[in-house]
């Protein structure tokens, strides 16, 4: 948990439950206010708490419905123990439907102006996540939430060339073996060596978050700046690759699963596309046993 600060707060992105507030009050934490259950809880509390007042303008996940926002905000604002630090919404189709998103932002903007006219305060407004920041940056809100953008990953392909990915996922070669033609590789023998091949086993698997759906999908990794094909199924702790064209490859060599090595790059979007998922899932599923190095 972050230490208390006079200049910043960490905002919860999920609804509050009853055991959270004491911890939030001790730390620099801003609770998410999502509707009547939160209101009833805080009515019974005498402890001061900062909140992010969430308005549902189309996501349907959490927040006060837009038609109820003014009335509920009035009740919240009247509670002496609550400090409204920010008012927010979430954009459900900012990377899919420009017209809906622009109308949603107009609706949210009107609500913010009405709230500030009827209930003056220094609370900030925010709505733009990564796709919003890239495609709708002209909207005049004080805070942005650039999640994937911080890692140089765009949810809109047309903007990716403007960004430089900041995350690299690496492992090392654990074993190298010369395999004869006709030998099965991994569970199910879904790949049979068509000729004599040099196979490297890597210390990585779906227990580390490497998608099992990449099995036999034509994905590669980088060894010595060259692409090496993944062979057979992804297993829990290990994967196998073809290093037949890399006679110099050796045990303990660095392997890039996602990122750049030399002139080659395996981008997050490529992994997501081959695994038939989204970049958010690829990055957030990288497991706890994968060592993090922050630069």
Q: Is residue 5 part of a domain?
A: no
Structure tokens at 84: 């409204």
**Residue in the block written with tokens 């010369």:** 178
Q: What's the pLDDT score for residue 233?
A: 98
What is the longest distance spanned by two Cα atoms in the chain?
A: 77
Q: What's the pLDDT score for residue 223?
A: 99
Q: Are residues 145 and 239 in the same domain?
A: no
Q: Is residue 290 part of a domain?
A: no
Per-residue pLDDT band for 26 (boundaries 50, 70, 90) equals: low
pLDDT in tens, 216-241: 999 999 999 999 999 999 999 999 99
Q: Are residues 73 and 137 in the same domain?
A: yes
Q: Is residue 260 part of a domain?
A: yes
Q: Is residue 138 part of a domain?
A: yes
Q: Examine the fold and report which residue of 158, 190, 209 is the final residue of a domain before the chain moves on.
A: 158
Per-residue pLDDT band for 140 (boundaries 50, 70, 90) equals: confident
Q: Examine the fold and report which residue of 98, 125, 158 is the final residue of a domain before the chain moves on.
A: 158
Q: Is residue 76 part of a domain?
A: yes
> What is the rounded distance in angstroms from the CA atom of residue 295 to the CA atom of residue 292?
10
Residue 267 has pLDDT above 70, yes or no: yes
What CATH code is carried by the domain that includes residue 216? 2.40.37.10
> What is the rounded distance in angstroms from the CA atom of residue 252 to the CA atom of residue 212?
23
Q: Are residues 210 and 104 in the same domain?
A: no
Structure tokens at 240: 């196998």
Per-residue pLDDT band for 47 (boundaries 50, 70, 90) equals: confident
H helical segments located in 68-214: 69-78, 98-118, 130-135
Structure tokens at 174: 């654990």
Helix (H) or strand (E) holding 273: helix 268-274
pLDDT in tens, 96-108: 999 999 999 999 9
Strand spans (E) along the chain: 10-15, 29-33, 49-56, 64-65, 82-88, 124-126, 169-179, 184-185, 191-192, 197-203, 220-223, 226-231, 238-242, 254-261, 264-266
Its domain, for residue 211, covers 169-284
> What is the rounded distance in angstroms from the CA atom of residue 229 to the CA atom of residue 220?
4
Q: Are residues 223 and 140 in the same domain?
A: no
Q: Are residues 202 and 144 in the same domain?
A: no
pLDDT in tens, 74-118: 999 998 888 899 999 999 999 999 999 999 999 999 999 999 999
Q: What's the pLDDT score for residue 139?
A: 75
Structure tokens at 140: 């005049």
Q: Is residue 56 part of a domain?
A: yes
Q: Is residue 246 part of a domain?
A: yes
Q: Are residues 85 and 151 in the same domain?
A: yes
What CATH code is carried by the domain that includes residue 149? 3.20.20.10
Q: Examine the fold and report which residue of 109, 136, 158 is the final residue of a domain before the chain moves on.
A: 158
Say whether 212 sits in a helix, a strand or coil. Answer: helix
Q: Are residues 121 and 221 in the same domain?
A: no
Q: What's the pLDDT score for residue 62?
A: 92
Q: Are residues 100 and 202 in the same domain?
A: no
Q: Are residues 128 and 192 in the same domain?
A: no
Helix (H) or strand (E) holding 281: helix 279-284
> What is the rounded distance in angstroms from the CA atom of residue 179 to the CA atom of residue 261?
27
Question: 84 with 48: CB under 8 angstroms?
Answer: no
Q: What is the pTM of this model?
A: 0.86
Q: What's the pLDDT score for residue 57?
A: 96
Q: Are residues 40 and 143 in the same domain?
A: yes
Structure tokens at 15: 């609804």
Per-residue pLDDT band for 4 (boundaries 50, 70, 90) equals: very low
Per-residue pLDDT band for 14 (boundaries 50, 70, 90) equals: low
Across 151-173, average pLDDT: 93
Q: Are residues 146 and 212 in the same domain?
A: no
Q: What's the pLDDT score for residue 8?
A: 59
Alpha-carbon distances of 290 from 106, 172, 204, 209, rounded to whole Å: 42, 12, 9, 9
Q: Are residues 46 and 20 in the same domain?
A: yes
Torsion of CA 214, 217, 223, 227, to 10 degrees: -150
Across 60-74, average pLDDT: 94
């Amino acid at each position: 948990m972050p230490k208390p600060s006079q200049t910043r707060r960490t905002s919860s992105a999920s609804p509050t439950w009853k055991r959270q507030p004491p911890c939030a009050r001790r730390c620099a934490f801003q609770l998410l206010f999502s509707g009547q259950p939160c209101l009833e809880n805080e009515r019974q509390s005498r402890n001061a708490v900062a909140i992010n007042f969430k308005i549902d303008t189309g996501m349907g996940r959490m927040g006060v419905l837009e038609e109820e926002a003014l009335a509920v905000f009035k009740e919240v604002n009247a509670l002496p123990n609550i400090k409204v630090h920010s008012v927010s919404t979430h954009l459900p189709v900012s990377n899919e439907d420009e017209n809906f998103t622009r109308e949603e932002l107009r609706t949210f903007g009107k609500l913010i102006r009405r709230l500030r006219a009827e209930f003056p305060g220094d609370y900030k407004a925010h709505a733009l996540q990564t796709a919003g920041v890239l495609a709708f940056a002209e909207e005049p809100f004080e805070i942005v939430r650039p999640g994937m953008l911080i890692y140089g990953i765009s949810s809109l392909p047309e903007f990716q060339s403007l960004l430089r990915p900041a995350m690299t996922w690496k492992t090392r070669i654990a074993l190298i073996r010369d395999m004869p033609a006709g030998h099965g590789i991994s569970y199910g023998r879904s790949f049979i060596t068509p000729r004599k091949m040099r196979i490297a086993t890597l210390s990585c698997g779906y227990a580390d978050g490497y998608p099992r759906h990449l099995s036999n999908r034509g994905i590669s990794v980088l060894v010595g700046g060259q692409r090496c094909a993944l062979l057979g199924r992804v297993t829990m702790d290990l994967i196998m690759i073809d290093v037949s064209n890399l006679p110099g490859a050796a045990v303990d060599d660095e392997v890039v699963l996602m990122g750049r090595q030399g002139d080659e790059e395996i981008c997050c979007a490529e992994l997501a596309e081959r695994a038939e998922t989204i970049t958010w899932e690829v990055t957030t599923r990288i497991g706890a046993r994968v060592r993090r190095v922050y630069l």
